[in-house]
Amino acid sequence: MFEGFIEDTIEGAGASLFVRYAGAEGRLPLVLLHGYPQTSAMWHQVAPLLANDFRVICPDLRGYGRSTKPASDDRHAAYSKRAMANDIVRAMENLGHDTFFIGAHDRGARVAHRLGLDHPERVRAMTLLDIAPTREMFGQTSASFATAYWHWFFLIQKYPLPEDIIGKDPAGFWKKKCFNQTDGDNPFDPSALEEYLTAFQSAEAIHASCEDYRAAASIDIEHDNADCDRRLDVPLRVYWAKRGVIEKCFDALALWQQRASNVSGEALNATHYMAEEIPQEIAMRMQAFFAQHS
């Protein structure tokens, strides 16, 4: 995977991030952010296609993969999307980039949303995959959504309940959660899957990922509420899975129109792990959208 990419560790704003990157330095930078419970390996088919036009940077978010896993507290501040976004801004600075494009999926897309709110001057444009805004999803929770996204409500339980249960069989939990979101299929490349399962074995990684979700249900909503009605101003393109939970349970575009002033999007024929199911289409759509804002 990632032939021709450099692997490095770059300092963020409180965590050291494992990063893969490629593409000539003179090209416009594009950072790709992964979701739960994955690593930057999820971009292994998309990133090489985009590296023909951009300098592509794929970090492991704090708490995931080979990035460090800072200690947390009762407020879960270390895993707020604000803290995670600050890591990306600092790491991109350390790579020599003050402004950049963002492509992001799942939890990484929630980090990207906060980054665009806190640092709009940094972002040229962003594409987000298969999420609606966090606060609005919690606010419109239904029995159908809670049943399908059971992990949201399991992972936010008080420490150490989910950690202890997951820790008894991390690989089994990973597969049950992820295959549940692909109608029972396995869309993952064997090398990528090996990386995901290896990264998810440690107690530190399990705890950090639970803290990510606990933050989403608490401090992240506090940050959203403090923004009142402030909208994301950067150009935004959203895609969600036509055969996924976002399509079934939410009006994704309408919710994004409440939170962003310049947004467009549509459902694509995939389930949740879009970058691994339809990588050529995702790369093509990102390239076309970002070209409009170069």
Q: Which residue matches tokens 């090398």?
A: 191
Look up 34 and say whether it is catalytic. Answer: no
Q: Give the pairing of strands 29-33 and 55-59.
A: parallel
- Say how far apart CA 249 and CA 144 lie, in whole Å: 7
The two most distant CA atoms of the chain are separated, in Å, by: 49
Catalytic annotation present for 227: no
Q: Please name the residues in contact with 255: beta carbons below 8 A apart, sequence gap of 6 or more.
A: 132, 133, 136, 137, 140
Instruction: Name the helix (H) or strand (E) containing 124.
Output: strand 123-129
CA distance 217 to 45: 32
Looking up tokens 């665009």 gives 116
Catalytic residue among 106, 212, 220, 224: 106
Bridge-based pairing of strands 123-129 and 236-241 is parallel
The residues annotated with a catalytic role in the active site are 106, 272
